[in-house]
Amino acid sequence: MTVADPRPRIASGPGGSGVVAGVRCQACAEPVAYAWPACPACGGPIAPAEFGPGGVVWSATVVRIPVAGRTPPYALAYVDLDDGPRVLAHVPGGAAPAVGTRVRLRADAPGGDPQVEVAP
């Protein structure tokens, strides 16, 4: 059974980085990581917008239990993209980055997951 991939679409950004191809509300300016038909905050009209590649770790964890299709342990972070939405991303290396760490979205992450690396 095939299901549509619901994850944010990652487009190419500057210098080999990635950006999230989402939308921004034309009424309340809410940034949205997904190509939804209306603003989730106010129902207003949206227009395409790109966010990233830079952002800051809001929080992070390492998942150590078996999850279908995944190999534990793996690190996940909620990242507040600069002037953009909060997105869930994988962090390579198996360690959770500290809250507040500057990170950068990758363009070509394996498996199609949003992925960030600690900013150089």
Which residues here bind other proteins, judged by CB under 8 A? 3-8, 30, 32-34, 40-41, 58-70, 74, 76, 78, 80, 85-86, 88-90, 96, 98-100, 113-114
Peptide bond preceding 53: is omega within 30 degrees of 0, i.e. cis?
yes
DSSP codes, 63-103: E-S--TT--SSEEEEEEEETTS-EEEEEETTSSPPPTT-EE
Which CB, 12 or 80, lies closer to other proteins? Answer: 80
- Phi then psi for residue 16, to 5 deg, are 80, 5
Which CB, 49 or 96, lies closer to other proteins? Answer: 96
**Residue 23 C-beta: closest distance to other proteins, Å:** 12
**Residue 9 C-beta: closest distance to other proteins, Å:** 10
Let me know how many helices (H) and strands (E) the chain has, helices first: 0, 9
Which CB, 27 or 88, lies closer to other proteins? Answer: 88
**Residue 120 C-beta: closest distance to other proteins, Å:** 23
- Calculate ∠ Cα 105-110-113, nearest 5°: 55
**Residue 117 C-beta: closest distance to other proteins, Å:** 16
